[in-house]
Each structure stands twice: as structure tokens, then as C-alpha cells.
Amino acid sequence: MSPNNSNPKVDFYFDKAEKWQKELEQLRAIALDCQLTEELKWGTPCYTLGDRNIVLIHDFKEYCAFLFFKGALLKDTDNILIQQSDNVQAGRQIRFTNLKEITDQKDILKTYIYQAIEVEKAGLKVDLKETAEFEVSEEFQKKLDEMPDLKKAFHSLTPGRQRGYLLHFSQPKQSKTRESRVEKNIPNILDGKGLND
């Protein structure tokens, strides 16, 4: 690892790792070799170019991963990018379950990072689905129609907060669960808060 561009504020993340420590340290070395700036964002190592996020490292119970912020724009020539869920529009992961997977793909991983850097330098943007294109559950629509204050408060929220609620309300299969979620979150919407605020 190149010590001159590592950030001591990020060391704790690697020091505290139990399950994936060697894998995470290898991902760190690869990202730093690409001359990115190491920062701590959202409690996790994030690698940036200027003020632009390129890739971050995160770990889960079953795997650790690189997450490319604009992964949807990368050419996935090695067919290794994963869309975490249908609702993730821009980000893509490359997942690892052992150190050998990372070391065997070191050059490929650097190629993907350099490609992500070029996407950022070119100023490319992911075409995100508009909030109006998200499904509004029947249960939430009913409340919006019944409560003008709720409708006004919801439309005053940022598009990201609106999308968060729309996804949260439409996910359950049962109407009763959707209705319960709507009822539970009405006070937060009226207070101008997002789902996780």
C-alpha cells in the first residue's frame, strides 16, 4: 500500500474488521494504487477524485465489495458488476468472498477503477428514474387524497426522500402491511423528515 496517500482517519475501519480484514486491506491497496484520495464517508472508506466519489469499500456478513457510485455507466467486460436490487439505479458492486478472488483480479479491478475515473472526468451522469415514475401504493394514495396537509408535506420533501417513502410503502405484498407502514410514517412526513431521519 502506498502510505503517502492513505488516510489515518480511515485506519480504524481496517483495524476493526474481523471477518474480511485481509480482503479489505487488499481492496484498499488496489484503490490507493489508482491514485485516488482516501476519505471516510458514511463510516466507510471512500475513494475520490477531487470532490467526486469513485468507489467505496464495504463489508457484509456474506461478502466484502467495491461499490462503484456510477457503476451503471461502466462497461462490464468481465461480467462482474452486480446491481444490489432493482431499486439501485446507479451503483454497482464487485463482490468477494476470499482473498484469492481479489488478488487474481487485481489488474481487472484497477481497469474498472480507471474506467470509473474516466466516467467522472467526462462528467457523465446516470439517467435516474424520476420520482413520478415510482409506484404510489393504493394505501398511500388514499391518505394523500384524504389529507391535503400530508399531500403538501410529501411534495415538499426532497425527491430522494419521496422515493424512499414510495419504495418503503410499496414493498410489502399485503395491503395491511402497506397501510401500517403509511400510518406509522405520516407524522415524519408532516414534520418534513425522510424515512431514515
pLDDT in tens, 147-161: 999 999 999 998 888
Q: Report pLDDT for 170.
A: 86
**20-34, 60-74, 129-143: lowest mean pLDDT where?**
129-143
Q: What is the mean pLDDT of residues 74-87?
A: 87
Cell of 7: 488516510
HSE-up of residue 161 (Cα within 13 Å, Cβ side): 17
Q: Flag whether pLDDT at 2 surpasses 70.
A: no
pTM: 0.70
pLDDT of residue 1: 40
Task: Tell me the pLDDT tens digit for each residue of 90-138.
Answer: 889 999 999 999 999 999 999 999 999 999 999 988 877 776 677 788 9
Segment 69-90 shows an average pLDDT of 87
> How far apart are alpha carbons 6 and 37 in whole angstroms?
8
What string of DSSP letters covers 101-147? HHHHTHHHHHHHHHHHHHHHHTT----PPPGGGSPPPHHHHHHHHH-
Per-residue pLDDT, 108: 97
